[in-house]
Structure 1
Amino acid sequence: MNIETIAPSKALIDLERIKKKRVNLAIFGHGNVGAKLIDQIIEAKTGIYSRRNLDLNIFAIANSKTVLLNADGIEADWQDTKRHKGTDYAPEEVIGFAKQHNLENLVLIDNTANSTFVKHYTSFVENGFSLVSSNKIGNTLGLNFYNELRQILKTNNKEYLYETNVGAGLPLVDTIKLLHRSGENITRIKGVFSGSLSYIFNAYSENNEQFSTVLREAICKGFTEPDAREDLCGNDVGRKLLILARELDLYVEFEDIAIENLIPKSLRKVSKDRFLESLADFDVPFHIKRINQKPDHVLRYIGDLRGDLSKHDGAILEVALVSVPKNSMLGQLKGSDSLFEIYTESYGKNPIVIQGAGAGAAVTARGVFGDILRLSDKLN
């Protein structure tokens, strides 16, 4: 009697386990974005398990120095555990660990900003991993690498999702992809691509303050990179513009982008400390730009993709500080929001507008999490 009662229960338990799809995650980079993502996944794990029959199992957490591995899953105390039990490693060892433990549904998540690590993408894909990345470098290296990676993904039937490369958690990349793949002729994309520069120029336009005052405030509040010149040089906006251009199958390299560097030449190569001591050097040139505008206009740092986008080599890519009407969509932008205007043949002069928080570790981490869930739905 007892045997008959127990056996069906065990069978039901085993059947329930079979129903649950386990997706095994290897997360590289646990700085601001990576740490928040790990915590978000662990906190949501139980709810996702019950609602979606999905078991998100983090089996590897790594930075540039050490890795923590556990085939059965890494828990909420991962930071302390990694501090005490993390070991030196090479990326290939994570691949070997996954094979040793027969892990399936493998996903590599890249939250680094490391150009060297990106070169390992192809090896991971060839060994069964799909990719999710907030690291823009994989999509902004030379076209040869860009096309080679996509061919390897296709050959191995793997996915590469990177919604957070442009616009943090905003649904921009997917929107561009869907429009383009459906045959919609996109004629122009322009907008404020940087949450940091959005905050700076929104504040500079609204307040009668020196540019150095606004910039120093943005730095102190953590709205910029640790070295604000990484934002002010315009390269980050350029990389984001390049990513969108390549989504439209345009043959463009980073060198093809005309980028207006906002940093005075005298401050571009000095030490970070010297740069911070010399922020007043920005004041006169930016004051001249502000007072030379037309009435009711404001300054915005814009990325602009235009030209004959139906031709592989017909694009013009520009990143520049421009003056726009205060009552325009771009002119009404507030805080650190990003805003993108997508012009298409069907929509004519009325663009599709995507606006919202375009920066921040929590927002970016949530966007990466969304990519993981979308990818998990496609796995067996």
Structure 2
Amino acid sequence: MKIHPIINKIINVLRLKEINTTSLSNNANRLTLSSLGMSNHTGIYPHSNNRTLQAPAYEIIRFRNPVSALKPIHKSHFQQKTHKVKTIHIAIFGIGNVGGTLIDQVLASIVDIEEKKHIRLKIFAIANSSRLLLDKNGMDTDWHEKFNSEGRPYEVQNVVDFARFHHLDNLIAIDNTASAQFVQNYLQLVQQGFHLISSNKIGNTMSYDFYQELRHILKKHHRDYLYETNVGAGLPLIDTIKLLHLSGEKITAIKGVFSGSLSYLFNTYSISDRPFSSILTAAIDHGYTEPDPREDLSGNDVARKLLILARELDLKSELSEINILNLIPEAMRPLSTIEFMHHIEEVNFHFKKQKDELLPGEVLRYIGEITGDIQNGKSQLKTDLVKVSASSPLGQLSGSDSLFEIYTESYGTNPIIIRGAGAGAAVTARGVFGDILRIATK
């Protein structure tokens, strides 16, 4: 029987695809295929409605013209590229302001990310300090109600065991707590196969020995640890400093307003006639500060951020070595949170004195600074309340924005400046989300 050249081409194509051609009749205008090697293939012919060919079943492609037979086969085997979806399993510890916002952001983006990036994000575990909710199929928009009704007491090992029992892979543990105790779980999580993401600064500001041990374990188990939000919330600061340092650029100093809370306080106070206590109360109400604002006023938060950047520059610094200016009047430091709030107006005299000393065109800014011979491991880290020109980059800050000046040998006296929103749950959660996608797309 004479075979049409187009049919011959089809046969050769199918043989290359390991599909057996069992029957062929040019006169009958049909091609019968045995689906060897195609037991899970869909869409071999038009309007197949995603039917799956099951060996040794036979499917018939009917056509009036031999050329038309090639089109569906060519489209199926060569033009349609099926993308394997990569599933990422996420455990979120800390579901308060930042954690809760992060969950909602992830859930709102799941469909879009899967369609565009072929990555499926599943939050299989959410936990606060005392309760845990698990679901191998992933959380849904009713997660808050389910957590309140179904959350159970737990240990972190319960999350590890659950992931192992259900054969979950591509594991990420996210620390949105402010807990030093939870940081003790980092090593265990990495050893059990979890990547780490953290908005909690404590993990990077504990002893330098722990800092080194964690990185040794991460390297040994080929896991990632991302913490872009530790300094500057969602701003690309840590990545920038890492890249500059790794590329051999000599960083000579870093200076800036590291705290969105203190930025708001002094940006507002410097140009307002209101007493400091009034501005501080407004900052608490807006969620710009911790519930006990002394966490911010102590300067410890800025010091931790300074330490994180210093260690990115391979400085073996400790928190105890930083010269920290504590803004809380000494008499108010031992008070409980409630007592402090009852006596909050007592801070006014302390700050009014500093404001009265400003010259025209000057404003107050609480800054962090790394200086010294950084390349040789000799540096000074300090926080301070300083006067700056209102026309300078630091002086032009407004709202709760942060600003960082990175001085390098190449740039001389013209620093690299990174400025933007430095506080807020939505901004921080978005930064954590970015870290999730960095790991997921590897």
Asked if these proteins are the same fold (TM beyond 0.5), I'd say: yes
Aligned residue for 1:328, secondary structure, equals coil
- In structure 2, the residue matched to 1:241 is 306
| Residue type of the alignment partner of 1:291 | D
- Counterpart contact for 2:83–2:118, Cα < 8 Å: no
Match for 1:335 among 379, 391, 399?
399
- In structure 2, the residue matched to 1:100 is 165
Q: Which aligned pairs between 1:147-186 and structure 2 lie closer than 5 A?
A: 147-186=212-251
Kindly indicate whether structure 1 or structure 2 has the higher relative contact order, using CA contacts under 8 Å at least 6 residues apart.
1
Inter-CA distance 263–309: structure 2 relative to 1 (3 Å threshold):
same
Task: Say whether residues 1:270 and 2:303 are aligned partners.
Answer: no
Per-residue deviation at 1:64? 1.2
Output the CA distance in 1 between the equivalents of 2:323 and 2:339: 28
Per-residue deviation at 1:191? 0.5
- In structure 2, the residue matched to 1:21 is 86
| Residue type of the alignment partner of 1:49 | E
- Please give the per-residue CA displacement for 1:179-202, whole angstroms capped at 9, x wherever unaligned: 111111111111001111101101
Per-residue deviation at 1:10? 7.9
Match for 2:147 among 55, 64, 82?
82
- In structure 2, the residue matched to 1:364 is 428
Output the CA distance in 2 between the equivalents of 1:171 and 1:298: 27
| Residue type of the alignment partner of 2:410 | S
Per-residue deviation at 1:99? 1.0
Output the CA distance in 1 between the equivalents of 2:440 and 2:348: 50
Match for 1:196 among 261, 270, 291?
261
- In structure 1, the residue matched to 2:126 is 61
| Residue type of the alignment partner of 2:346 | D
Structure 2: gaps of 5 or more residues: 1-31, 45-49, 53-79
Match for 2:296 among 207, 216, 231?
231
Taking every aligned residue pair, what percent have the same amino acid on both sides?
Answer: 54
Output the CA distance in 1 between the equivalents of 2:345 and 2:169: 56
| Residue type of the alignment partner of 2:393 | M
Inter-CA distance 95–328: structure 2 relative to 1 (3 Å threshold):
same
Q: Once superposed, which parts of structure 1, at least 4 consecutive aligned residues long, lie more than 3 Å away?
A: 3-8, 10-18
Task: Say whether residues 1:346 and 2:384 are aligned partners.
Answer: no
Task: Say whether residues 1:9 and 2:42 are aligned partners.
Answer: yes
Inter-CA distance 16–136: structure 2 relative to 1 (3 Å threshold):
farther
| Residue type of the alignment partner of 2:421 | A
- In structure 2, the residue matched to 1:311 is 376
Per-residue deviation at 1:17? 8.1
Per-residue deviation at 1:95? 0.8
Aligned residue for 1:73, secondary structure, equals coil
Structure 1: gaps of 5 or more residues: none
Per-residue deviation at 1:82? 1.6
- In structure 2, the residue matched to 1:297 is 362
- In structure 1, the residue matched to 2:198 is 133
The structure carrying a bigger helix percent of its residues is 1
Aligned residue for 1:191, secondary structure, equals strand
| Residue type of the alignment partner of 1:302 | I
Match for 2:110 among 23, 33, 45?
45
| Residue type of the alignment partner of 2:195 | S
| Residue type of the alignment partner of 2:388 | V
Aligned residue for 2:223, secondary structure, equals coil
Output the CA distance in 2 between the equivalents of 1:181 and 1:100: 40
Match for 1:142 among 191, 198, 207?
207
Per-residue deviation at 1:213? 2.1
| Residue type of the alignment partner of 2:143 | W
Aligned residue for 2:263, secondary structure, equals helix
Q: Pairwise CA RMSD of aligned residues?
A: 2.1
Per-residue deviation at 1:366? 0.3
**Which stretch of the first structure deviates more once superposed, 234-243 or 218-227?**
218-227
- Counterpart contact for 2:362–2:390, Cα < 8 Å: yes
